[in-house]
Amino acid sequence: MVSIRERYFNRLLYDREEDRREDTAVFLYIDGREIMNYTYLVRCADGTFYTGWTNNLEKRMKTHNEGKGAKYTRGKRPVELVYYEGYKTREEAMKREYEIKQLSRQEKEKLIKED
């Protein structure tokens, strides 16, 4: 079953019908460009970490710092992007987001330093 959100993304983000791949992972296109999905980690002003996913890092960081992003980061601004990974599909990015959220603070710091 396709959710309303998926239908919305399919309608908005595909320039060409032939770019849609019903039998494989979803690939997003805007203005003929393939869109990358990102899992990211930000350091909040209070020193805590927040992990999320997006398909536009620059816009998402701006949203967080304007206080319009995740509820967690609204009162902890400014946030600084300290780590990110790129993926072809949002499902991969969301899976990695979950994995990173399960890490301890020390493991997250190690991940950032290894980058």
Q: In this structure, are 86 and 41 located in the same domain? A: yes
pLDDT at 45: 97
Q: In this structure, are 74 and 46 located in the same domain? A: yes
Q: In this structure, are 52 and 108 located in the same domain? A: yes
pLDDT at 90: 93
| Angle at the Cα of 107 from the Cα atoms of 69 and 77, rounded to 5 degrees | 25
Q: In this structure, are 54 and 2 located in the same domain? A: no
pLDDT at 111: 95
How many Cα atoms are found within 13 Å in the side-chain-facing hemisphere of 3? 3
Print pLDDT tens along the chain (115 aa). 333 344 334 444 444 444 444 433 445 555 666 679 999 999 999 999 999 999 999 999 999 999 999 999 999 999 999 999 999 999 999 999 999 999 999 999 999 999 7
